[in-house]
Amino acid sequence: MGATTMDQKSLWAGVVVLLLLQGGSAYKLVCYFTNWSQDRQEPGKFTPENIDPFLCSHLIYSFASIENNKVIIKDKSEVMLYQTINSLKTKNPKLKILLSIGGYLFGSKGDLDFINLLSFDFHGSWEKPLITGHNSPLSKGWQDRGPSSYYNVEYAVGYWIHKGMPSEKVVMGIPTYGHSFTLASAETTVGAPASGPGAAGPITESSGFLAYYEICQFLKGAKITRLQDQQVPYAIKGNQWVGYDDVKSMETKVQFLKNLNLGGAMIWSIDMDDFTGKSCNQGPYPLIQAVKRSLGSL
């Protein structure tokens, strides 16, 4: 497979632009597959063989490398990975398989079939002062003031539409992971002081970050609270605090996007859901399946 020259208009940091017209009124369910997930230890090791070709309407491989405006294939193993992913279309010819490339959004709404809105990572251990906050709150919390009142899905979606992006071209991002914190005091609510990121998960091995299959293990013995204003849950265990999405919040978010006539949902990422069904005891891909059921027609 040789290098391919790409026009700058097709580039967006972390977001793919589909260059084929999409017809009909069915929703999109866009799922990202991260190529580094195959390097995780079991049970988090995820390869193309784990992908259900009927789960999503679009599958996006992340990320291709770019040098001098060319897609670079680094080694034979990457070629094999591309070929294995493309072979999923033999099982489901309707599956659209795309390649995500780093870059910038040079564009105009006339050039785009849809955008994947990264409506998560609103709060995390990078913030100063460091306090607890949910990764992907649907709505503004009662305690949000100033800039923090913008850090929610509802505002992010509304901003894009207000700036002229047609609602049907907005595909709303929903995460299959959470952000965690180490509490600095006995206070445990949203906005509680934190001393640093939460402990790294045993599989993803990244402090302040837990995949859903790790969160399910964390929830054993944890205290779970559902935020009625932000419509998402968080959990505490000892001095560890994690804000995450579950089946109920997934369903609520899908209803929200349907009410706004958005183009569908984007999942970051397919490999961080409980793809085996063994960690959460909710069946394989419980979060993505909840989104798919709630969307209906794909």
93 part of a folded domain: yes
| Nearest to 86, CA basis, from 31, 113, 116, 48 | 48
119 part of a folded domain: yes
239 part of a folded domain: no
230 part of a folded domain: no
| pLDDT at residue 112, as a whole number | 72
Q: Encoding tokens for residue 82? A: 């591309």
Contact 160, 167 (CB under 8 A): no
- For residue 135, the tally of other CB atoms under 10 A from its CB is 22
How many Å apart are CA 257 and CA 157, to the nearest integer? Answer: 9
Give strand pairing partners of 151: none
DSSP state of 126: T
204 part of a folded domain: no
Contact 236, 188 (CB under 8 A): yes
For residue 17, give the CATH number of its domain: 3.20.20.80
The verdict on pTM exceeding 0.85 is yes
Give the total number of structural domains in the chain: 1
27 part of a folded domain: yes
| pLDDT at residue 297, as a whole number | 76
Spell out where 163-239 has E strands.
170-175, 177-183, 194-197, 209-211, 223-227, 232-237
Structural domain including 146 reads 4-126+135-176+246-295
Helices (H), the chain: 76-86, 153-162, 212-218, 247-259, 286-295
Question: Alpha carbon of 60 to those of 34, 76, 113, 284, 298: distances in Å?
Answer: 8, 20, 15, 20, 16
229 part of a folded domain: no
261 part of a folded domain: yes
pLDDT in tens, the chain (298 residues): 333 333 333 333 333 444 333 344 589 999 999 988 998 999 999 999 999 999 999 999 988 877 777 777 777 778 888 899 999 999 999 999 998 875 443 444 566 789 999 999 999 999 999 999 999 999 999 989 899 999 999 999 999 999 999 999 999 999 999 999 999 999 999 999 999 999 999 999 999 999 999 999 999 999 999 999 999 999 999 999 999 999 999 999 999 999 999 999 999 999 999 999 999 999 999 999 999 999 997 7
